[in-house]
Amino acid sequence: MYKIIPHISEKSVTLAKKGYFTIEVPREMQKGSLTSVLKDTFKLDPISMKILKKKTILAKKARKTVFDRGMKKMIVKLPERQVMPGFESFLSELKEQEKKEAKDKKEKTVKKNG
């Protein structure tokens, strides 16, 4: 069983709003196996996928050797109605915030005209 984790950051949440979801996957996992995992486990139909790799780094900092382990991220494009598990709460908060901003903007235009 593969360990697939949603990668939650400010950038990934704004991408999720557009239908692109960022997930961390094991370094040995490939596109074909990820597609089958998404279809079987999460019942999602990915449209496209992009791979981002971060290399493992050994660096010296303040008399210590720091080992920064590399990782592999995939950005998955999903159809409009599908949402990757782990992003639901962030997307609902964004929608509520947009509604509030639209309502405030509408009230300002009414005050200016009235």
Half-sphere exposure of 42 (CA within 13 A, CB side): 21
Look up the pTM and report it. 0.71
| CA 36 to chain CA mean position, Å | 19
Across 12-29, average pLDDT? 88
Using an 8 Å Cβ cutoff, are 76 and 49 in contact? Answer: yes
Class of domain 5-113: alpha beta
With cut-offs at 50, 70 and 90, classify the pLDDT of residue 20: very high
With cut-offs at 50, 70 and 90, classify the pLDDT of residue 114: low
Across 48-59, average pLDDT? 90
Task: Please list, residue by residue across 38-65, b when 16 or more beta carbons sit within 10 angstroms of its beta carbon and e when fewer do.
Answer: beeeeebebeeeeeeeeeeeeeeeeeee
% of the chain exceeding 70 in pLDDT: 97
Across 86-95, average pLDDT? 76
Across 48-76, average pLDDT? 88
Query: Is pLDDT above 90 for 48?
Result: yes
Number of neighbouring beta carbons within 10 Å of residue 25 = 22
pLDDT at 22: 92
pLDDT at 94: 74
pLDDT at 49: 93
